[in-house]
Protein backbone atom coordinates (compact mmCIF):
# COMPACT_ATOMS: atom_id res chain seq x y z
CA UNK A 1 0.00 0.00 0.00
CA UNK A 2 1.36 3.39 -0.99
CA UNK A 3 1.64 5.94 1.82
CA UNK A 4 0.39 9.43 1.02
CA UNK A 5 2.08 12.35 2.76
CA UNK A 6 -0.33 15.06 3.83
CA UNK A 7 0.89 18.45 4.91
CA UNK A 8 -0.24 20.18 8.08
CA UNK A 9 -1.49 23.02 5.91
CA UNK A 10 -3.77 20.67 3.96
CA UNK A 11 -5.12 19.07 7.15
CA UNK A 12 -5.92 22.53 8.57
CA UNK A 13 -7.64 23.56 5.36
CA UNK A 14 -9.78 20.41 5.31
CA UNK A 15 -10.63 20.99 8.98
CA UNK A 16 -11.60 24.59 8.28
CA UNK A 17 -13.79 23.66 5.30
CA UNK A 18 -15.50 20.84 7.19
CA UNK A 19 -16.30 23.00 10.21
CA UNK A 20 -17.44 25.94 8.08
CA UNK A 21 -19.98 23.57 6.48
CA UNK A 22 -20.88 21.90 9.79
CA UNK A 23 -21.38 25.13 11.79
CA UNK A 24 -25.09 25.70 11.19
CA UNK A 25 -26.07 22.16 12.15
CA UNK A 26 -23.32 21.33 14.64
CA UNK A 27 -25.35 21.86 17.83
CA UNK A 28 -28.28 19.81 16.45
CA UNK A 29 -25.99 17.01 15.31
CA UNK A 30 -24.16 16.87 18.64
CA UNK A 31 -26.75 17.13 21.42
CA UNK A 32 -24.42 15.12 23.68
CA UNK A 33 -22.35 18.27 24.19
CA UNK A 34 -25.18 19.87 26.16
CA UNK A 35 -24.95 16.99 28.64
CA UNK A 36 -21.52 18.31 29.60
CA UNK A 37 -22.93 21.62 30.88
CA UNK A 38 -23.36 20.24 34.42
CA UNK A 39 -19.75 18.99 34.47
CA UNK A 40 -18.42 22.33 33.25
CA UNK A 41 -20.43 24.19 35.86
CA UNK A 42 -19.05 21.88 38.54
CA UNK A 43 -15.44 22.47 37.45
CA UNK A 44 -15.87 26.22 37.08
CA UNK A 45 -17.63 26.61 40.42
CA UNK A 46 -14.75 24.69 42.02
CA UNK A 47 -11.98 26.79 40.47
CA UNK A 48 -13.85 30.07 40.05
CA UNK A 49 -15.99 30.05 43.20
CA UNK A 50 -16.62 33.79 43.03
CA UNK A 51 -17.65 35.98 40.16
CA UNK A 52 -14.40 37.35 38.76
CA UNK A 53 -14.29 40.94 37.62
CA UNK A 54 -12.28 42.10 34.62
CA UNK A 55 -10.78 38.66 33.95
CA UNK A 56 -9.55 37.83 30.43
CA UNK A 57 -10.27 34.31 29.21
CA UNK A 58 -8.82 32.82 26.03
CA UNK A 59 -10.84 29.95 24.57
CA UNK A 60 -8.97 28.04 21.86
CA UNK A 61 -11.15 25.99 19.53
CA UNK A 62 -14.37 27.76 20.46
CA UNK A 63 -16.54 25.97 17.96
CA UNK A 64 -20.15 27.08 18.32
CA UNK A 65 -19.50 28.69 21.71
CA UNK A 66 -20.51 26.05 24.26
CA UNK A 67 -17.63 26.70 26.69
CA UNK A 68 -17.69 30.52 26.46
CA UNK A 69 -21.45 30.49 27.10
CA UNK A 70 -20.77 28.76 30.43
CA UNK A 71 -17.66 30.76 31.38
CA UNK A 72 -19.67 33.92 30.75
CA UNK A 73 -21.71 33.15 33.88
CA UNK A 74 -18.61 33.27 36.08
CA UNK A 75 -17.29 36.65 34.95
CA UNK A 76 -18.34 40.23 35.42
CA UNK A 77 -17.00 42.91 33.11
CA UNK A 78 -14.55 40.42 31.65
CA UNK A 79 -13.29 39.68 28.19
CA UNK A 80 -13.71 36.30 26.54
CA UNK A 81 -11.52 35.86 23.48
CA UNK A 82 -12.86 33.09 21.26
CA UNK A 83 -10.63 31.53 18.61
CA UNK A 84 -11.35 28.94 15.97
CA UNK A 85 -10.05 27.95 12.56
CA UNK A 86 -13.62 28.16 11.23
CA UNK A 87 -15.14 31.57 10.63
CA UNK A 88 -18.62 30.05 10.45
CA UNK A 89 -18.23 28.33 13.83
CA UNK A 90 -17.27 31.68 15.32
CA UNK A 91 -20.29 33.32 13.66
CA UNK A 92 -22.51 30.78 15.43
CA UNK A 93 -20.72 31.42 18.73
CA UNK A 94 -21.09 35.16 18.23
CA UNK A 95 -24.87 34.83 18.02
CA UNK A 96 -24.83 33.16 21.46
CA UNK A 97 -22.83 36.02 23.00
CA UNK A 98 -25.43 38.76 22.44
CA UNK A 99 -26.87 40.28 25.61
CA UNK A 100 -23.84 39.19 27.59
CA UNK A 101 -22.56 41.08 30.61
CA UNK A 102 -19.02 40.50 29.30
CA UNK A 103 -17.18 41.52 26.17
CA UNK A 104 -16.42 38.95 23.52
CA UNK A 105 -13.83 39.03 20.75
CA UNK A 106 -13.77 36.50 17.92
CA UNK A 107 -10.51 35.66 16.17
CA UNK A 108 -10.16 33.31 13.20
CA UNK A 109 -6.88 31.41 13.60
CA UNK A 110 -5.53 27.94 14.15
CA UNK A 111 -4.48 26.72 17.57
CA UNK A 112 -0.82 26.45 16.60
CA UNK A 113 -0.38 30.02 15.36
CA UNK A 114 -2.25 32.24 17.79
CA UNK A 115 -1.97 35.93 16.87
CA UNK A 116 -1.34 37.19 20.39
CA UNK A 117 1.67 38.52 22.20
CA UNK A 118 3.46 35.92 24.27
CA UNK A 119 3.17 38.05 27.38
CA UNK A 120 -0.37 38.90 28.41
CA UNK A 121 -0.79 41.45 31.15
Superfamily the domain 8-108 falls into? Vaccinia Virus protein VP39 (3.40.50.150)
50-82 pLDDT tens trace: 777 888 999 999 999 999 999 998 888 899 999
Sheet with 103-108, side-by-side order of all strands: 56-60, 79-84, 103-108
- Within a 13 Å sphere around the CA of 108, how many CA atoms are in the beta-carbon half? 13
- Tens digit of each residue's pLDDT (9 = 90 or more) over 74-107: 888 899 999 999 999 999 999 988 888 899 999 9
Amino acid sequence: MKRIEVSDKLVKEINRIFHDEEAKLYDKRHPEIEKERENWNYVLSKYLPNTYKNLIVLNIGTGTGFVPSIVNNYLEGGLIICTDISKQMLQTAKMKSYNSKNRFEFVVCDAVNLPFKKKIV
